[in-house]
Amino acid sequence: MKILKTVMLAVVLILVPAYAFSYNYGYMRISLIEGDVQIMTPDARDWGYASINTPLDEGDQVWVPEGGRAELQLNTGTYVRLDQNSALQILSMDKNSTQFYLSQGHAYFYYDAPRGSVIQVDTPDASTRAFNKAIFRIDMSDQYQYTDVAVYKGFVETENEVGRTRINAGRMVSLGPNTNAEVAPMGPSDEWERWNKRRNDRMYASRGESSRYLPAELRQYSYDFDNSGRWVRVPNYGYVWTPTVVVGGGWSPYRNGRWIWRGGDYVWVAYEPWGWAPYHYGRWSFIINIGWFWVPPVTGAVYWGPGYVGWVRTADYVAWVPLAPGEIYYGRGYYGQHSVNITNVNINQVNITNVYKNVYVNNGVTVVNRNTFNTGSPSIVNVNKNIIQEKIFVKNNISVGAPDIKPTRASYFTSDKSIPQVKLPPQHVRNIQVKELKQSRRLIKEQDKSVLNPGVKPETLQVKTVTTPRTPGKGKPSIQQVQPEEKKKTKAPEGGSVPRDERQVKPSEKKDVAPEAGSVPRDERQIKPSEEKAVVPENGPAPRGERKQVKPEEKGKPEVPECGPGQKDEMNPDKCPQKGQKKHGTKETKQ
């Protein structure tokens, strides 16, 4: 029996990775596209054209070419927008905290997440974090090597290898690798800032009915519902949403879009701009006087899914139908009360007793040729409703989970068009290895810890404040390189004691430190070992063991011994103390 259990456990460990599915796909989507935006995914290992409502996950990269723009929406209500000629890598993502790497270009962040979360945005020059709600932008200079961080609301903390500083609303900071920082008031708005403000105003100027009827977990998608449909009350379901911007009388849910392969499963990507929340949360139903309507999940039972449909496979066709409320969804994971995790059951023993309700709705079922399902252009087949009900969507054909059809390259993107070589991202962007980048830049959630110097409390960055306003990403700030020796300096402790010079010295150059009582501060400038001299205490004797500095022409002149002729011992000066000094226990005053 023990051997049998061991064998079964080994089989589970082998099979589970093949069916593992990342729940992170519910955390972020592409919510707006202008131009030919491109993405690279670990699944595809290649660049392809992006489309609206494409889910994004750790390891993905986004490239916005000349003339394009893109908006990414997180499930926390945060938005990330990219201007043309910008490249963004997604390094880390969990329920509330995210980490991005802006390797090139201009990015705008509308950060709105629960307390205790963090957004971290790294660039080659710096790392910026927000721990509370904030609106800010990051611009990388094309001509000069520096990063601008400008804040419109709240505050952020920015650091480079030298130290960290805080930037409040209305200000911007410029810094490079191993430099000090320049802080300036923000100058006139540029077109990128005005575009983002217009976008914010449209989305947040007024909230309609959707925020009242959606569960708390989905209210960040209110804009889509408000602008694309209406809410009506239906017996047994309460308030439901029905789209009003559909094309043609034959429209049905899960038809205007396609299935792409992400992380071990087929995920629905809708072409309708509003088609994120209604296809990945809740269920669909139909009544004559309203048509198709979406039933939202209840608060506390909100689960993102690849697409809540029932599947059928035959020798010729692949078909799917929207699930009605209460019907069982078979997926590779747990998706709430009315779902079965097929990675934990023997799918051959699943007994499906009822045909799905929406099979009997006109145009409820979508049928495609099986041999085109995993291509860039799945071919929808118009099949008579009676044939669908009597020969296709019957219990024996119903599939437990998405079809077991191997993905092709065309399965990774919604478009099967290849990107011309001249339109691919720049070579340095294509060379980025996200896994290696993630190892060198960790997501640090603790505010008192450094990103660029892990395990070390960040130093305060030297800041030069100017009064001349600057527009982010424009002009050249007056920042200067900080030498490595200067980076190692530490601030004086709060008790008022004077810090030691942190420069590296040879053992032969080390000297004792003066005791706190009556100590003399050191000159903080960097000095060469040959320039170090002991400080003579006021009204006191000169320090022992120090020779006066002599000029080259003075070399060869005899020195005057400290204790008189014949009494000086170079190896043990204590044998010859000066008058008034004790032989032991007295420390020298050190500069």
Specify whether the CB–CB gap between 258 and 380 falls below 8 A: no
The reported pLDDT for the residue numbered 100 is 98
Strands 61-64 and 329-331: unpaired
Is the residue at 44 inside a domain? no
**Verdict on whether the full-model pTM lies above 0.85:** no
The reported pLDDT for the residue numbered 486 is 53
Tens digit of each residue's pLDDT (9 = 90 or more) over 277-294: 999 999 999 999 999 999
CA distance 414 to 370: 17
The reported pLDDT for the residue numbered 134 is 97
Q: Please determine, for residue 560, whether its predicted confidence score (pLDDT) is greater than 50.
A: no
Q: What length does the chain have?
A: 591
**Burial of 22 (C-beta count, 10 Å sphere; 0-12/13-18/19+):** middle
Is the residue at 358 inside a domain? yes
Is the residue at 318 inside a domain? yes
**Burial of 158 (C-beta count, 10 Å sphere; 0-12/13-18/19+):** buried
In sequence order, the β-bridge partners of residue 39 are 48, 62
Is the residue at 381 inside a domain? yes
Specify whether the CB–CB gap between 341 and 333 falls below 8 A: yes
CA distance 375 to 558: 94
SS3 of 544-580:
CCCCCCCCHHHCCCCCCCCCCCCCCCCCCHHHCCCCC
Q: How confident is the model at residue 205 (pLDDT cuts 50, 70, 90)?
A: confident
Strands 119-122 and 127-130: antiparallel
CA distance 344 to 364: 30
Amino acid letter, residue 192: W
- Which of 3-7, 309-313, 485-489 has the largest mean confidence? 309-313
| 229 vs 562, higher pLDDT | 229
Among the residues of 257-363, which ranges form H helices? 277-280
Is the residue at 394 inside a domain? yes
* Total tally of structural domains belonging to the chain: 1
Is the residue at 165 inside a domain? no
Cβ atoms within 10 Å of 493's Cβ, excluding its own: 9
Q: Strands, DSSP E only, in 141-282? A: 147-153, 155-159, 164-168, 171-175, 181-185, 229-234, 238-243, 257-262, 265-270
Tens digit of each residue's pLDDT (9 = 90 or more) over 336-351: 889 998 888 776 667 6
| Long-range contact pairs involving 546-555 (C-beta distance under 8 Å, separation at least 24) | none
Q: How confident is the model at residue 190 (pLDDT cuts 50, 70, 90)?
A: very high
Q: Please determine, for residue 495, whether its predicted confidence score (pLDDT) is greater than 80.
A: no
Is the residue at 329 inside a domain? yes
Mean pLDDT of the chain: 81
Tell me what the mean pLDDT of segment 390-404 comes to.
87
For 397, the domain range is 307-401
Is the residue at 264 inside a domain? no
Tens digit of each residue's pLDDT (9 = 90 or more) over 497-524: 333 333 343 444 444 444 444 433 433 3
